[in-house]
Amino acid sequence: MRALFVIAIAALLSACASKEDPSRIRQIAQDGALRVHPGLLGQPVPPELQALAVVSPASGTVSEASAMRMDEQGLRTQRSVYFDLNKADIKADYASVLAAHGQFLARNPQRRVRVEGHADERGSPAYNQRLGLKRAQNVRATLLGHGVQAAQISVKSWGKSKPKLTGRNEEAWAENRRADIVYEKED
């Protein structure tokens, strides 16, 4: 009987195993339902979120594709961009998140953000400082590409000094390899 139980557990674990890069899989502890814009999850966007059209900063026109926008809650919950080990290039997974922040900032030129780059604890302090800065600069460049004014965005590198998750394992290191978009308070 015990052997069957062990086999069943092993089969269940192997069925749940993913061939995807483990650094791209995130588990977030939360209370209640996670509030993420449905468009980011590939689900249909509710009509109440489609009602407000977005003006394209590049052309100044309203397009059908830009009619979908991230709601205010989505802008509050999707503020971190995660990176691979020793990398500063932005993964395609974060294109829609950065586009939503970029469109919001382009429509609200009075709003200011600070992009804070972080690194995990591995590597020298100087290396982690440079890597955090490069990550923040890449997020800034992406936001600028969405029509945000340069004066709206500042960058800061924290290196490894402000971990999001403490620990000496891959889960903690993956959480700490990030850049955060921090909205400054309005005057």
Q: Which residues pair with 64 in a beta bridge?
A: none
Between 76 and 143, whose confidence is greater? 143
Show the domains of the chain with their CATH numbers: 71-183 (3.30.1330.60)
Q: Is the pLDDT of residue 26 over 50?
A: no
Q: Which SS3 state, helix, strand or coil, does residue 129 take?
A: helix
Between 19 and 55, whose confidence is greater? 19
Give yes or no for a contact between 117 and 134, defined as CB atoms under 8 angstroms apart.
yes
Give the model's pLDDT for residue 2: 59
Q: Is the pLDDT of residue 128 over 70?
A: yes
Give the range among 3-17, 96-110, 140-154 with minimum mean pLDDT.
3-17
Give yes or no for a contact between 139 and 178, defined as CB atoms under 8 angstroms apart.
no
Between 140 and 26, whose confidence is greater? 140
Query: In this predicted model, what pLDDT tens digit does every residue of 50-105 receive, in sequence order?
Result: 443 333 333 343 333 333 345 566 677 889 999 999 999 999 999 989 999 999 99
Within 13 Å of residue 107, how many CA atoms lie on the same side as its CB? 16
CA nearest to 175, candidates 160, 163, 157, 162: 163
| Mean pLDDT value across the chain | 75
CA nearest to 142, candidates 151, 153, 131: 153
Give the model's pLDDT for residue 108: 93
- The alpha-carbon radius of gyration of the chain (Å, integer) is 19
Give the range among 32-46, 117-131, 146-160 with minimum mean pLDDT.
32-46
Rounded distance between C-alpha atoms, residue 112 and residue 84, angstroms? 27
Q: Is the pLDDT of residue 141 over 80?
A: yes
Confidence of residue 135 (pLDDT cuts 50, 70, 90): very high
Q: Is the pLDDT of residue 6 over 80?
A: no
